[in-house]
A and B are shown apart, each in its own frame.
Chain A
Amino acid sequence: MRYRTVLRSAIVALGLCVMQAWAAEPIKIGVIAATTGGGAPWGLAAVQAVKIKANEVNAQGGLDVDGERHKVEVIAYDDKYRAADAVSAYNRLVRQDGVKYVYIMGSSGTLAVKNQVEDDQVIGLTTSFSGKAIDADTKFMFRVFSISANYIPSLIDWLKEHYKERRVFLANPNDETGWDQDQLTARLFKERGYEVVGRDLYERNQKDFQPLFTKIMATNPEIIDLGSTSPATAGIMIRQARDIGFKGRFLKTGGSGPRDIVAGAGKEAAEGMISTLYADPNNAGYRRLANEYKKVYGQEPNEILIAYYDATSILMRAIQKAGDINDTAKVAQSFASVLPMDSAQGGSITLGGKQMWGVDNQFLTPMYIAAIKDGEAVVVGKAK
């Protein structure tokens, strides 16, 4: 083992020397994500995933594009999940740092820079759940994983098949993502024969949910869907709901984060909750990445790690295919020939989205369905 690390370090050192000698232009990737605040589990995983991939590429001496090796540099800024901060970070990345490939994690940030991305011809890679992130005129913005609109239909089908509850209450935060989630799930549930007994959009930084659950209990739901609530808040919500006497099932059709949910709610309260999962925590490919993350942060990452890692792999391939690290228009077009590609955890990632958004600018990624059993997320199915 020591030998291997020594060898690896030697390779890296050699690679760096080679880089210095060659002084080829580095490929700069920017990441705008919420690394503080409620979205932090996602943001930290996002940034680290890109860095992990970049380190791997650099350990090989850099990305081989048309004979030249380019080092990959990752520059990350915190946007605190605020649109204005995202705009500011974007400006700095593109105008000051000279970045041409930018990840934007949050919906409000993505929408805020949407037009600029097209004007600046910068490749925007987003994990926004908002339907408005991509439309028929979009050329440079790509969504890098499957979102609610993609997987919820099959999630609900799976739910319908496995559980007989049919009365559902939808609770979402009062923000961009929450809105979309609320409207989408309400429609999809109704279409599939569920009864939506009520919907609520609560204030984002709230903590006292007892009045809300008092209201919810009065509608007598069998399932409460927490939608796009952030994992930590979801944990508190579940606990408070149980305190007030809710005995039904919890569902989370939006962003996933079972670990934080269990931490906030406690094992008992969270038992049986169904949510989506970006990665199978036991999959060998994913575990390798998770361990890399663990080395830096000392704890398990949010599974969104896999989406950003895979997306960066895809980006690297696309740049290679395009043959020019600065011709972003060509890179954008190269995605179509690089996909389908395999994810690090197996499964295939395809390019799609034309039917829904008007243009094929979406990576469709594998999505798992998980149930929380005894404090751990256990994969019970797959959504399409």
Chain B
Amino acid sequence: MRNRYLYLILVVLALVPWLLGNRYVFHVATMITIMIPMALSMNLMLKIGQLSIAQPAFMGIGAYGSALLAMRLGVPPVLALLAGALIATAIAVVVGPLFLRIKGVYFVLLTYAFGQIVNLVFQEWTTLFGGNNGLYGIPKFSIFGVRLTQSPHYYALGLLLLALFYALMRRIERSDIGAIFESLNENEMLSRSMGSDALGWRIGSFALSAFIAGVSGGVYAFYIGFLSPETFGFLMSVDLIVVNAIGGVASALGPVVGAILILPLPELLRDAREYQLLIYGVCLVVFLLFFRQGLVVFLQRKRRA
């Protein structure tokens, strides 16, 4: 199926909350718009062949960062959001050179350990982060003096950011940078021999993915008004992996499609929570065995056939 049709479907889906006018639907939709950039952030790393499960940690850094800046220092929300994301990016730039030398499985384990440490810091540094109690009373987001108080507002904000990030990802894919990433993935020696600084590009990718995650974190903080360390743990990585596996890694469209299919599940299956995980697992198995490239590529191929 041509991408155009897919885009059309997505746009229609995006309008659904307004058509239904139900505040609960807006809530679920807003959460999806916050999580899709997270999936994109993981996708970015997958493009260079690295599975990073540190993304939730960066989201957490962005979330706590923006929240604390807004609450304790009275920084205006837009700036706080940006600053929080930049803090996450800075940390990525600092640990990047260390982590990105390592590849494959070890890298995954590294990001896992990193994520756990960040989580533990959120839990233990109670005076700053509130510990397991969580941080609450985060003020509402406001742009140029306009306070966002309702889910529809946040949904709009989420959609905007989502569109921005998606567009960014697509541009990268199509551009030279994208080609470099692909070559890094496939044959690093060759790409290095052509002059690209492999490590540098990897760090850049890592930093950008951290930035995106940080922004999502900030929006989450302002929207929910409450933060607790558990949110930014391994379970979120599982969700992100499922989304990317099902949607497909090859293009940025993959995580978007995957997210829309997967993320509403917990809400739909709220009455059968235990089944939700079982379904996740079975879906993953099915996809890994039969549709390893993911749904998007599968659909694209079908059309061509």
* A and B, direct touch (CB closer than 8 Å): yes
Given contacts A84-B231, A108-B134, A115-B136, contact A95 B226 (CB under 8 A): no
A80 CB, min distance to chain B CBs, angstroms = 9
Residues of A within 8 A of B132 (CB): 108, 174-176, 179, 204
Residue of B nearest to A78 (CB): B273
> Looking at the complex, which one of A78, A88, A176 makes contact with B134 (CB distance below 8 Å)?
A176
A292 to chain B, nearest CB (A): 23
A115 with B137, Cβ < 8 A, contacts A91-B27, A176-B132 known: yes
What chain B residues lie within 8 Å of A82 (beta carbons)? 228, 230
Contact A115 B225 (CB under 8 A): yes
Tell me whether B134 and A83 are in contact (CB under 8 A).
yes
The closest CB in chain A to the CB of B123 belongs to A174
Interface size bucket, B side? 20 to 34
CA–CA, A78 and B277, complex, Å: 15
Q: Does A187 contact B (CB under 8 A)?
A: no
Complex alpha-carbon distance, A36 and B273, angstroms = 10
Residue from A78, A96, A108 within 8 A of B133 (CB atoms): A108
Asked whether any CB of chain B lies closer than 8 Å to the CB of A368, the reply is no
Which residues in A have their C-beta under 8 angstroms from that of B270?
77, 89, 92
A186: interface (CB < 8 Å) = no
B228 and A108 contacting across the interface, CB-CB below 8 Å: yes
Chain B residues, CB < 8 A from A179: 126, 131-133
- Chain A residues with CB below 8 A from B24, complex form: 91-92, 95-96
A112 in the interface (beta carbon within 8 A): yes
A191 to B134, CA, bound (A): 29
State whether the Cβ of A331 lies closer than 8 Å to any Cβ in chain B: no
Q: Is the CB of B273 within 8 A of A87?
A: no
Answer yes or no: B101 CB below 8 A from chain A CBs. Answer: no
B23 interfacial contact with A, CB 8 Å: yes
Chain A min CB distance to B202 (Å): 32
Question: B26 to nearest A CB, angstroms?
Answer: 8
Instruction: For B220, give the chain A residue with the smallest CB separation.
Output: A84
Q: Mark B103-137, 1 if CB is under 8 A from A, else 0.
A: 00000000000000000000100100001111011
B228: shortest Cβ distance to chain A, in Å?
4
Interface contact A83-B27, CB-CB below 8 Å: no
Provide a sorted-by-A list of 30 A–B residue pairs whose CB atoms are within 8 angstroms.
Answer: A36-B273, A77-B270, A78-B273, A82-B230, A83-B134, A84-B228, A84-B231, A87-B226, A92-B270, A95-B22, A95-B23, A95-B24, A96-B22, A96-B24, A108-B132, A108-B134, A108-B228, A111-B133, A112-B136, A112-B226, A114-B136, A115-B225, A116-B225, A130-B133, A174-B123, A174-B132, A175-B133, A176-B132, A176-B134, A179-B131
Interface residues, chain A, CB within 8 Å of chain B?
36, 77-78, 82-84, 87-89, 91-92, 95-96, 108, 111-112, 114-116, 130, 174-176, 179, 204
Given A95-B27, A112-B226, A174-B123, 11 more A-B residue pairs with CB atoms under 8 Å apart are: A83-B134, A88-B266, A89-B270, A91-B24, A112-B134, A115-B225, A130-B133, A174-B131, A175-B133, A176-B132, A176-B134
